[in-house]
């Protein structure tokens, strides 16, 4: 993970759970002493690192390959991840790390689609027919019509509801919806890579 552009004081919190899962988060400040409200006020960014299992654990990170961010411990049900937090993920295939940002599709009233290449994420306002609402399956006919209407991604690949979220290094699926039936509806955070632009679909006026 490239932290060259993130300078300052890194304040770490590391927790080891009973199952020997190790979870680390940090907040970055420009002063040695972290002001109590700096993170809550958005003045200090945070990084949440993908948890891993220590030696001796009864489970392995390999069982989470292709799973969503809730299963991986990067988001939590009932707790909204703050917008000033980036997530540090590790690819199941090439083991390289990468940074992503997430947005809450339910609170944002905007569904999401990933491009076939995995490089782009486009949002679709929830009032548009076929837009995938959080925690529900979209109408198949309306979804197909919406997928046909979406523009191609900047690299020419197509957006689709079941396209995986891919590793930016090796392009293998990181969140694999087709391999995990039912996962797509429950992954109500849309993701995009740190430093990239979250695209938005605006239909042509009729």
User: Is residue 206 assigned to a domain?
Assistant: no
- Residue by residue, pLDDT tens for the chain (206 residues) are 455 457 899 999 999 999 999 999 999 999 999 999 999 999 999 999 999 999 999 888 999 999 999 999 999 999 999 999 999 999 999 999 999 999 999 999 999 999 999 999 999 999 999 999 999 999 999 999 999 999 999 999 999 999 999 999 999 999 999 999 999 999 999 999 999 999 999 998 86
User: Is residue 56 assigned to a domain?
Assistant: yes
CA distances from 10 to 14, 22, 156 (A): 12, 18, 39
Residues 79-83: contacts with CB under 8 Å, at least 24 apart: 80/104, 80/107, 81/48, 81/189, 82/39, 82/42, 82/46, 83/42
* Domain encompassing residue 95: 9-200
Q: How many domains does the chain have?
A: 1
Contact 104, 126 (CB under 8 A): no
User: Is residue 144 assigned to a domain?
Assistant: yes
User: Is residue 168 assigned to a domain?
Assistant: yes
Contact 69, 189 (CB under 8 A): yes
Q: What is the pLDDT of residue 5?
A: 53
Would the pTM count as exceeding 0.85? yes
User: Is residue 65 assigned to a domain?
Assistant: yes
User: Is residue 4 assigned to a domain?
Assistant: no
∠ CA 99-102-107, nearest 5°, is: 170
SS (H, E, C) the chain: CCCCCCCCEEEEEEEECCCCEEEEEEEEECCCCCCCCCCCCCCCCEEEECCEECCCCCCCHHHHCECCCCCCCCCECCECCCCCEEEEEECCCCCCEEEEEEEEHHHHCEEEEEECCCCCEEEEECCCCCCCCCCCCCCHHHHHHHHHHCCCCCCCCCEECCCCEECCCCCCEEECCCCCCCHHHHCCEEEEECCCCCEECCCCCC
Which phi and psi (to 5°) does residue 63 adopt? Answer: -70, -15
CA distances from 161 to 41, 104, 118, 136 (A): 34, 17, 12, 13
Q: What is the pLDDT of residue 205?
A: 80
């Amino acid at each position: 993970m490239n932290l060259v552009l993130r300078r300052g004081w890194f304040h770490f919190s590391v927790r080891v759970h009973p199952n020997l899962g190790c979870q680390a988060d940090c907040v970055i400040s420009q002063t040695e002493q972290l002001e109590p409200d700096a993170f809550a006020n958005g003045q200090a960014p945070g990084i949440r690192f993908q948890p891993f299992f220590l030696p001796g654990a009864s489970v392995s990170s390999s069982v989470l390959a292709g799973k969503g961010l809730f299963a991986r411990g990067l988001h939590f049900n009932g707790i909204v991840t703050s917008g000033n937090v980036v997530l540090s993920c590790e690819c199941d295939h090439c083991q390289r790390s990468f940074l992503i940002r997430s947005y809450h599709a339910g609170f944002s009233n905007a569904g999401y689609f990933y491009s076939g290449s995995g490089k782009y994420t486009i949002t679709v306002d929830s009032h548009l027919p076929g837009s995938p609402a959080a925690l529900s399956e979209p109408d198949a006919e309306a979804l197909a019509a919406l997928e046909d209407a979406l523009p191609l991604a900047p690299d020419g690949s197509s957006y689709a509801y079941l396209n995986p979220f891919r590793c930016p290094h090796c392009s293998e699926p990181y969140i694999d919806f087709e391999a995990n039936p039912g996962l797509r509806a429950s992954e109500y955070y849309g993701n995009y890579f740190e430093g990239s632009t979250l695209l938005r679909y605006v239909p042509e006026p009729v």
